[in-house]
Structure 1
Amino acid sequence: MDQVTSIRPECLRPAADGWLQPTGPEIREVIERAGFTGSRAGKYLGIATQETGGCRQVRKWIAEDARIPYSAWALLCHAAGLGIIWVSEPV
């Protein structure tokens, strides 16, 4: 049985509205929800430099060896169906 990692609400906010950096497992979960492999996520974001073998930068984000930029995170969340997180909800 596959285990689903929950994504903290603080990770789904606009950057200027209290956004918190996602953890490696949260990044992996969003990539999987988008239906991407690490390599496909890198291509989607325009950062893949290898034809095969995955995307080194995506692996660093998942391993928490590097911080994921908000823009990359927001695009992955959108691809995963989590909404347009860079836009504040009307009050």
Structure 2
Amino acid sequence: MTLLKPEHLRPFAEKWERPTGEVIAEVLHRAGLTGVRAAQLTGVADDRSVRRWTGDERGIPYAAWALLCHAAGLGQIWLQQQDAPRD
């Protein structure tokens, strides 16, 4: 069962809802990322930041979340619907 909600996958300005640590862990799993690889992808100092996000000790910044979602195949969530590329 997925814990992701549509509110987690919105552009920041469109009432984005910050995901819980459990949701972040689900996206990391979908992307096949370890904490170290997630830290490298998002540009944080080390995997302690990622552990804080997944442990609900600190909220994940939107930009980091958007990169993780993209890596997990969830699309470019930062684009508004009308800005999204057309196939």
TM-score by length of 1: 0.85
Q: How many residues align?
A: 82
Identical aligned pairs, as a percentage? 54
Do residues 45 (structure 1) and 42 (structure 2) align? yes
Alpha carbon RMSD of aligned pairs, Å? Answer: 1.1
Give the Cα–Cα distance (whole angstroms) in 2 for the partners of residues 63 and 5 of structure 1.
18
SS of 1:84's partner is coil
Alignment match, 2:85: none
Alignment match, 1:52: none
Residue of 70, 75, 82 corresponding to 1:83: 75
Task: Give structure 1 regions of 4+ aligned residues with deviation exceeding 3 angstroms.
Answer: none
Deviation at 1:36, TM superposition (A): 0.3
Q: Identify unmatched segments of 5+ residues in structure 2.
A: 83-87
Give the Cα–Cα distance (whole angstroms) in 1 for the partners of residues 80 and 42 of structure 2.
23
Alignment of 1:8-87 (within 5 A): 8-49=5-46, 55-87=47-79
**Which structure is higher in helix share?**
2
Give the Cα–Cα distance (whole angstroms) in 2 for the partners of residues 58 and 85 of structure 1.
20
TM-score by length of 2: 0.88
